[in-house]
Amino acid sequence: MEAAGRSGGIGRRAGLKIRFPPGSVGSIPTFGMSMVAFVRRSIRAVRTLARDGRIPRPLRALVAIGLLPVPGPFDEAVLLVAAALLFVFYRGPLREAWRASV
């Protein structure tokens, strides 16, 4: 049996563990919600943005292409470009769509 270390734990790594409260995700993008819930909410928000008349038609088309179930990384790349443009230039409608997607 080992003796307790200076940190009060047993073994040399006992004091190195980062303890999170139960139920916390520990991930920045989710802010306390599960990753599945985050993805579902994001898809609902993007669908709302694809129909928003305040956003130019070519950008809405990019969003619609990004939502297509295309195999491979193409649709994800298109959606990332559209998300970056929406975040930079259309932050207000993006925020409204996020709040409405609850």
User: What is the secondary structure of 35-56 as a DSSP string?
Assistant: HHHHHHHHHHHHHHHHT-TTS-
Nearest to 80 by CA among 60, 96, 68, 62: 62
Nearest to 60 by CA among 42, 48, 44: 48
> How far apart are the C-alpha atoms of 101 and 47, rounded to whole Å?
9
Q: pTM for the complete prediction?
A: 0.55
For 30, 40, 45, 59, the CA distances from 37, given in Å and listed in that order, are 9, 5, 12, 25
Mean pLDDT in order along the chain per 10 residues (102 residues): 54 55 51 77 83 89 84 84 88 90 86
